Structure 1
């Protein structure tokens, strides 16, 4: 084509600044570096050379040959022959190469694309020289952490390098030991070496069977990885890594890793919540470990006295165990008792104790209303019954705090029905008698209504006014209540979370009582405490019918003094508890329940759901009411659940209290605040799905007066879990809330006991069981705070305490 012919066409490509022929050359050059295109080109060159092995075509093959890879001996020999290739053998050599290519024994490895100066290469990151900077260094700075990986980590709450380093392994696997299939342990990661017997593919699923000298293992992949087809062949001897599951006599591995070569050293297993594989996660951890600066997160004298590892060495050992690790040390890592883990465990508990100590120190700087006179007999006379010895001891503890003139922070523990409300009223009455107000906050409207009925009746004896404030309170009543409260005309205000609203202002708040305190977070308690007036901080009394295990009392409730009401009022019947899992057992129990409530007794039927729409397969109010009405039409049945308003609940409660209703079918809304003295029978459907603390609270709704007997019948679900069966066994075995609290802690862990996401710890399941370490860390923290009350001399420790356990532990109120 002539130049004159090209000029007009060139105008159609202004974006490229080149003619169409230049563009075609650019396109060919780009295709040259694309894998599939170059593979086709290489085969074509082999084909052309086998037809005409001229020098030009051999030169093109020579240029491409460095990018051809093979592990096959014939392929390696073919590549090696090229350097000494005779001219008369060129055609045969090219033909052999073409056959090897078509047999898949030669593979193309495309060259790495050249990076331009403006490529997406990561910029060099600034080295971390200060421990505190590690908490702000983003994970995206790490090698191999691109945008997709960064997003996946962020979704799991891992944003900084420090977040990553404190995302600890969930287990370890000793690759130095091959476990026989016939003697493996269930649900524990292990390494196996087995021969594949058979393989069956069904769509994207794959089922296989493998064996060793000790037994047979079933293998399953529900999302088969295509690359496994190269390895998973009948007769192949392979290594498998996975957690066996036992089904009768069969042993199964679901989605095991498959390796042709034996792995070395010790494998680290990370949680899968990030969506990343353990290998990728471990590579990011290895990169983060190189960035750890020197830090003094524990005082040097504490490290020396407790013989603790340095932090950097501890993290390195936990994340990257050395291949020379002894079997005993590996066992310690797997059990969570290795010295490296003890270092991190101690630091967590020590930091928490420092945070608690700082809060206690802040509270001690404030003043509160002082109560000097003990008027307990006068205030307790309104009850119509004598206080127990445990109730009197608890009141004495509180009055001792009120006499100091500093804000009281006390936890009152008492089993269900032990009389905590009476103790709270006597203590509140002492504060009201000084001219100040009291707020009582409860987690549910039903409990608020129950407490209001009790408190208002008792207040009338002394000419005090009590008020109720919940989400059901009409607008006009709410406005008048707020006005009277601010004017100081209301002495006791009972309510739910509504009490922490900004609009609610007290004239002079002297005391806050929080009932069922485990339902509230630190922030919610602090917001109510901050409503104190006249320059004084209110006292705080938090109550729970869910006993606090000793380990938690030493830690997360360590800023609260503790009192226990460990005896019940006389005459209370012991509630017999029975578990029923078969249809026959449930039918017999239901008949016994119906006979009891047909006479003079009343009973509850507790269901997990309000209506069947939520889950047609589970028990609901609709299903329970329909069944009872058909089987026992003579029984009057009422219904109560959380969606009912106060106006709807009141007539139901009144009819149940006065005996017009014999059975109340309800959800767990009756767990707290339901006081029906003559209700002595209860059925809990799907009881194995509830927690122990909740079951104990529900059981506490019955047997609240003298009676010949009271019974709680626990109906199991269709397919209870092993843990569900354990809960039923514990409920049948024990009636002590303190025993059940310890058992519940062992089974479910402490949960978010600090009441805030930022406060979640690293080692809760470990430290809650290590009383000795808790006591040592508490003593060390208290000794340090005596010498350095605000941790100003330990900046790294102060930073960790604030970052790890939340700024709300340092709030100005001390609440």
Structure 2
């Protein structure tokens, strides 16, 4: 494998964009705002789609929704103002087809360009309008006298950069490509790895994507499966894999406290529990205990479906830390979920004389000062809280285990801050939990720094939930059904999911639903919970529902995680079409926690989009969280599943974990090989694709 130390590739890759003709301080600032600082950044600023300017389509042959290029003579121009300024230009071609070009943003000189008789070539996506087909804001140009030549290549369309027009950006990228090093100087992947997948060199791939030839496979390019795109996706996935592996190696070199107690507290807990652990819980606890016995930090993700019993495994791990005279901390993303954990841990651990302490944002004044003292002195052996655990004023006596629940809801800086609460000569072991099962492809790539365990078995006695979808017009039938269920002593949830930028709107929707149901069901005691209530009010209502004092709970999605009411056997989810599969599955998991037959009703507004229909059909068909997670990945992509705006994985330029899943085994093998044989090349690949984000990619 060729060495990459100080060669031309490194120099050119990192050359600042100010070295390009036409890039002054103002333009450099605009480019920097998008993270574009070097020539290499511009080479990797890839087109988001392609326009086929190599052929003309007759206006009569246009298909709605199918992008095409047309050419015609301006027949009429109409400039009006109905609700906002609008310009309509009618053009016709030789076959007497007519098309309207519609513009909402235009300048006076544009209007002047469209003189009747002028020849226009336009590219856009036609759609039905008032007078036949129309294109809204097509790209276009006015043709000169005798000008007929078509483009000889597909036109790339780049992600927009504020303050830099498309033509200017294309010109800049063209200048940057002129300085592209030769294939050998640019290449970082082993030749045999590329040959095995029949992939081009990086230089060839970049030139193909920025300047696709006329005969390029347009469909392959538009769907991201062209060999040039696969070549870049392979290297990008490899870069993320390497950065996560490096994180793990660096962290494990720091060392941790080996927790090697005899497990007496764990045995006492087992005997006091009113249930036996499942085989899956036993298996995962054994893995956790083995990890904790090592003098290097545990980095383990425990995933399990709703109600599979992750918290018990976390409690047992915490007891191993307590037995070694160390502390454990459990952090949850919301106060509601954190309080649920607090109640469980107090019930399980305090009879064993283990001091459980509560630390959240609402703990103030003397109570906060007392809690901080207990945490700092070590009197608090297990500390439960929200992100308040990571604030500067919180000092642990000797934190040996950090348990993070629903970790994808935390920003990476927050998770790093909790990790830094350990002693200077050791970092805490990390146990990460999620009730959102993670598709295998996502686990292989996004969690390459973690060992992954699955609690894939539900406790005995849990009944599968029957799921049905109902149009909103059938609400009266549903209200009648709730009345009967409550009369028979069972309980129900009614979840309002109206999504808006403001929490207030969701609260209003829940409030009005609460008022309507109170009128419709005078014989049922109904409670209301939403995010704008004070924590004490929320908690009091939840407690009343849990104790059976309320028959129906109207709530927003604040009850998505952490609420356990075995007697609740009916869940109604309003506007279910607005939510993702994982969130719907989480909400459904609030019922079916007892022995009674349980149902989940997905109330939707017609008409349903194709994706919404597919989501609801999937939920009706299966209760398997792992299958649902795979489907969610297909439908929504990895970004939303991981909350990747916060993880460092949001910035995939080209790779797609669902589409490129078949590359992952190759990526794993390549990562192993490079870390062992060519660590310098591994570093260069990470710098090229991940850059400074590498530090936070796995926090």
TM over 0.5: yes
Q: Do 1:656 and 1:662's aligned partners in 2 also have CA atoms closer than 8 Å?
A: yes
Residues 513/232 of structure 1: CA separation in 2 closer, same or farther (3 Å cut): same
Cα gap change, 1:370 to 1:455, in 2 (>3 Å): same
Equivalent runs, 1:682-693 vs 2, <5 Å: 682-693=571-582
Cα distance 1:671–1:475, how it changes in 2: closer, same or farther (>3 A)? same
Q: Is 2:125 the partner of 1:243?
A: yes
Match of 1:258 in 2: 140
Deviates more, 1:696-705 or 1:519-528: 519-528
Matched, 1:170 2:74: no
- Counterpart for residue 295 of structure 2: 405
The equivalent residue for 1:474 is: 364
Shift of 1:428: 2.0
Quote the offset at 1:780 in angstroms.
Answer: 0.9
* 1:802/1:192 CA distance change after superposition, 3 Å: closer
Give the 5 Å matches for 1:373-452: 373=262, 377-452=267-342
Distance 1:146 1:597, change over 3 A: farther
* CA positional deviation for 1:349: 1.1
RMSD of the alignment, in Å?
3.2
Is 2:297–2:427's contact at 8 Å kept on the other side of the alignment? Answer: yes
Which residue in 2 is equivalent to 1:652? 541
- The yes-or-no answer on 1:633 pairing with 2:522 is yes
Q: Which deviates more, 680-689 or 560-569?
A: 680-689
Judged with a 3 Å threshold, the aligned counterparts in structure 2 of structure 1 residues 610 and 164 are, in CA distance, closer, same or farther, namely: closer
CA distance 1:210–1:698, change in 2 (3 Å): same
Check whether the contact 2:233–2:660 (CA below 8 A) recurs between aligned residues. Answer: no
Is the contact made by 1:333 and 1:341 (CA closer than 8 Å) also made in structure 2?
yes
In 1, Cα distance between the equivalents of 2:668 and 2:66?
35
CA contact (8 A) 1:207 1:220 kept: yes
SS of 1:407's partner is: coil
Larger relative contact order, structure 1 or 2 (CA cutoff 8 Å, min sep 6): 2
Is residue 619–residue 685 contact of structure 1 (8 Å, CA) maintained in 2? no
Alignment CA distance shift 1:793-1:735 (3 Å): closer
Residue 462 (structure 1) shift: 1.5
Preserved contact between residue 684 and residue 714 of structure 1 (Cα < 8 Å): yes
Tell me, in whole angstroms, the C-alpha distance in 2 between the residues paired with 1:144 and 1:590: 67
**Deviation of the 1:275 alpha carbon:** 5.7
Q: CA deviation at 1:578?
A: 2.1
- In structure 2, distance between residues paired with 1:305 and 1:729: 40
- 3-state DSSP class of the match of 2:595? coil
Pair 1:798–1:612, CA change in 2 (3 A): closer
8 A Cα contact 1:354 1:781, kept in partner:
yes
- Tell me which residue corresponds to 1:192: 70
Which is worse superposed, 741-750 or 255-264?
A: 255-264
- 2:221 corresponds to which of 325, 329, 333: 333
Q: Counterpart of 2:230 in 1: which secondary structure? A: helix
Deviations 1:633-673 (A, max 9, x none): 33222221223333222321222122222222221111111
Provide the secondary structure at the position in 1 that maps to 2:272: coil
CA contact (8 A) 1:611 1:621 kept: no
- Is 1:800 matched with 2:692? no
| Counterpart Cα distance in 1 of 2:100 and 2:92 | 9
For residue 268 of structure 1, the aligned residue among 131, 139, 156 is 156
Q: CA offset at residue 159 of structure 1?
A: 4.4
Deviation at 1:740, TM superposition (A): 1.9
Residues of 1 paired with 2:131 and 2:455: CA distance? 51
Q: Distance in 2 between matches of 1:537 and 1:764?
A: 35
Residues 793 and 628 from structure 1, CA distance in 2 versus in 1: closer, same or farther, beyond 3 angstroms?
Answer: closer
Compute the displacement of 1:808 (Å). 3.1
Q: Mapping of 1:519-534 within 5 angstroms? A: 519-533=409-423
Say which SS state the counterpart of residue 656 (structure 2) adopts. Answer: helix
- 2: CA distance between counterparts of 1:700 and 1:735? 9
- Shift in Å at residue 598 of structure 1? 4.1
**Residue 771 (structure 1) aligns with:** 661
Shift of 1:420: 1.0
Give aligned pairs, total: 677
Task: Give the conservation status (yes or no) of the 8 Å contact 1:749–1:764.
Answer: no
- Secondary structure of the residue aligned to 2:259 is coil
Q: Name the CA distance, whole Å, in 2 between partners of 1:762 and 1:655.
A: 46
2:613 corresponds, among 702, 712, 725, to 725
**Displacement, 1:704?**
0.9
Aligned to 1:734: 622
- 1:527-546 equivalence runs, <5 A: 527-533=417-423, 535-546=425-436
| Structure 1 segments unaligned to the other structure (5+ residues) | 1-127
Please give the TM-score of this superposition, normalised by the length of structure 1.
Answer: 0.76
1:593-632 matches, within 5 Å, as: 593-608=482-497, 620-632=509-521
Task: Name the residue aligned to 2:586.
Answer: 697
1:312 aligns with 2:203: yes
Q: Is the 8 A contact 2:585 2:619 kept in 1?
A: yes
1:207 corresponds to 2:88: yes
Is 1:670 matched with 2:551? Answer: no
Residues 191, 740 of structure 1: alpha-carbon distance in 2 compared, 3 angstrom cutoff: same
Q: Which consecutive unaligned segments of at least 5 residues does structure 2 have?
A: 1-5
How far the C-alpha of 1:434 sits from its partner, in A, is 2.1
Counterpart for residue 373 of structure 2: 483
- Asked if structure 2 preserves the Cα contact closer than 8 Å seen for 1:688 and 1:720, the reply is yes
Could you tell me which residue of structure 2 aligns to residue 591 of structure 1? Answer: 480
**1:358 aligned to 2:358?**
no
